[in-house]
Structures are given as C-alpha cells and as structure tokens.
C-alpha cells in the first residue's frame, strides 16, 4: 500500500526546463502543488551550481522555489567527506559545499583522504595528475555524478562521468558515485521533506539516472517523455516506471486523477 502523495521530487534539465525555457506545462503544474498539500523538491546531479543559484533560475522561470527546496549532488558528497582531507576537482559551488561541511581542501595528493570529482570547466592535466596520485596513495575516489555527457546550448560536452573514468582507468579504482542513480540524494530529499518513501514520487526524463534512483530509494516513479528517454526505452526497462507520461497534463492525470 502506498500513502497519499505528499512530495514530488523533480529532476531539472529535460524535466522542468530545457536550457533557458521551462518544459511546457511544468510551471503551471508545479504552481498548483501547494494547494494540494504536496511539497515540490528539485534533485539535481549538477554539483557546479549551489541551491541558491538553482532556486534563482527556477524562480526566474516562474517556478516559486527556495534554496531549501533544492538538493544537489554536491551537498551529498560534502556530507560523505565531512571532517576529512580532500583533494577536490570541481567548481566553486562544490568547494563551498565541501568546506561548509567541515572538510579541509589539500593540494598535496599524499595528504588526501578522499578525492572528490565534480564537473569542472577549468579541468586540466595537473588536476588529473593530482587526483590520480591521491587515489594511488590510498585516497577514496568519490564522484558527484556519473553523467558522461552534459547538454549545453551549443551542444554536448564531456561530463563528470567521463572525467572520473580517466582517473579510474589510470588507477584501477572504482569511484563511489553520490548522485543519481544512487539513492543517497533521494534519501536526503525525503529527509528534508519529512516524508516516507511511499509518500513521494520521483519524476524525471532519464530512466538510467532519475527513475533508477527513485526505484532504489523505494519511491514510485514517473518517466516524463520530455527529455532523454523514449517510450520504447521505457517499455524495455526493468522494472518499469510506475507511470510513463508524455507531458505534464498526463502526469497530473496519473497522480491526481
């Protein structure tokens, strides 16, 4: 038996917006949730934007949002390395999350207890060298997310998963993945909303990350066909999403009748 829906967890890119434009129907659907007593939270694998920045982006699109409604992979990674010596590959938002959690950033690979890797637009050979040496010296390798490609307005670019694969190949280590499809980021969202898994639904456009993460965390899931995954892929996916919907009109009907 499932409880009444008390929280919806949304992926962002491809689910709520695409680039600078909201997905058709998303703004109206999300705006109507409060009247139903349903909390909206936004769960993103991106670690290079902080919750404040994400909330401001959503608000600019017409979706009322506070930083506390946003859960990023950076926050989960930061909790994982709290109090440790960390060699960091990533941008300012990841650095802020990690240091706020009490980790200490080190430049000497031999001093690192953990290597945390997130998407980094200033990635260079020396950062790869440092991460590789730290892992070979015994540091844990932690990836904020496994996404191998990132969509930009001018096309795709290699993502964090591709960067992490370089260090994995060089060291023979396997990274501990923090973001979707692993369930830790979903568990943090549930804790923030104060709801049980059977009272929440994970909504996303990617079977391999969004839907799998929701399933692993014990949630019902809704694949919305506005982004990465197709209806044919959903039909072949096991276990199947609870719902597969074309758009927000169908999502509303599926969840609320």
CA atoms within 13 A on the CB side of 95: 9
Q: Is residue 220 domain-resident? A: yes
Decide which of 143, 160, 177 is a domain's last residue: 177
Q: Do residue 86 and residue 165 come from a single domain?
A: yes
Q: Do residue 13 and residue 92 come from a single domain?
A: no
Q: Do residue 169 and residue 222 come from a single domain?
A: no
* Residue 6 phi, psi dihedral angles, 5° rounding: -110, -15
Distance CA 242, CA 27 (A): 23
Work out the average pLDDT over 191-218.
Answer: 96
Structural domain total, the chain: 2
pLDDT digits (tens, 9 = 90+) for 36-61: 999 999 999 989 999 999 999 999 99
Q: Do residue 224 and residue 138 come from a single domain?
A: no
Instruction: Write out the H or E segment, with its range, that includes residue 115.
Output: strand 114-117
Q: Do residue 171 and residue 193 come from a single domain?
A: no
pTM for this entry: 0.89
Q: Do residue 111 and residue 167 come from a single domain?
A: yes
Distance CA 186, CA 184 (A): 5
Q: Do residue 89 and residue 154 come from a single domain?
A: yes
Q: Do residue 165 and residue 205 come from a single domain?
A: no
- Which CATH number belongs to the domain containing residue 166 in this structure? 3.40.50.1000
Distance CA 85, CA 129 (A): 17
Q: Is residue 63 domain-resident? A: no
pLDDT digits (tens, 9 = 90+) for 121-163: 999 999 999 999 999 999 999 999 988 887 666 777 899 999 9
Decide which of 120, 154, 177 is a domain's last residue: 177
Pick from 168, 176, 95, 78: nearest CA to 132 = 168
Decide which of 142, 177, 212 is a domain's last residue: 177
Distance CA 201, CA 53 (A): 24
Q: Is residue 21 domain-resident? A: yes
Q: Do residue 162 and residue 235 come from a single domain?
A: no
Q: Do residue 211 and residue 166 come from a single domain?
A: no
Q: Which residues form the domain of 100?
A: 81-177
Mean pLDDT score across all residues of the chain: 94
Cβ atoms of 149 and 158 closer than 8 Å: yes
Give the three-state DSSP class for 24: coil
Q: What are the DSSP calls for 48-102, one per residue?
A: SS-HHHHHHHHHHTT----GGGEEEHHHHHHHHTTTSEEEEES-HHHHHHHHHTT
Q: Do residue 250 and residue 164 come from a single domain?
A: no
pLDDT digits (tens, 9 = 90+) for 73-124: 999 999 999 999 999 999 999 999 999 999 999 999 999 999 999 999 999 9
Q: Do residue 173 and residue 85 come from a single domain?
A: yes
Active site residues: 11, 13
CA atoms within 13 A on the CB side of 47: 35
């Amino acid at each position: 038996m499932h409880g009444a829906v008390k929280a919806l967890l949304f992926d962002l890119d491809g689910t709520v917006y695409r680039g600078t434009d909201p997905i058709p129907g998303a703004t109206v659907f999300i705006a109507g949730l409060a009247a139903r007593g349903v909390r909206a939270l936004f769960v993103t694998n991106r670690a290079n934007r902080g919750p404040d920045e994400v909330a401001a982006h959503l608000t600019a699109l017409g979706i009322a949002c506070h930083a506390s409604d946003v859960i990023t992979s950076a926050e989960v990674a930061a909790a994982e390395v709290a109090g440790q010596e960390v060699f960091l590959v990533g941008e300012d938002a990841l650095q802020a999350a990690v240091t706020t959690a009490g980790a200490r950033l080190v430049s000497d690979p031999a001093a690192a207890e953990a290597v945390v890797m997130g998407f980094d637009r200033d990635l260079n050979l020396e950062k790869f060298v440092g991460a590789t040496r730290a892992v070979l010296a015994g540091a844990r390798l932690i990836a904020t997310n496994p996404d191998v490609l990132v969509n930009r307005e001018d096309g795709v670019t290699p993502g964090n998963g591709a960067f992490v694969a370089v260090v994995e190949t060089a060291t023979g280590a396997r990274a501990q993945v923090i973001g979707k499809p692993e369930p830790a980021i979903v568990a943090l969202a549930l804790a923030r909303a104060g709801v049980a898994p059977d009272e929440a639904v994970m909504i996303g456009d990617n079977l391999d990350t969004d839907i799998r993460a929701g399933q692993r965390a014990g949630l019902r899931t809704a694949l919305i066909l506005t982004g990465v995954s197709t209806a044919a892929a959903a039909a072949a996916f096991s276990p199947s999403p609870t719902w597969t919907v074309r758009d927000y009109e169908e999502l509303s009907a599926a969840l609320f009748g």
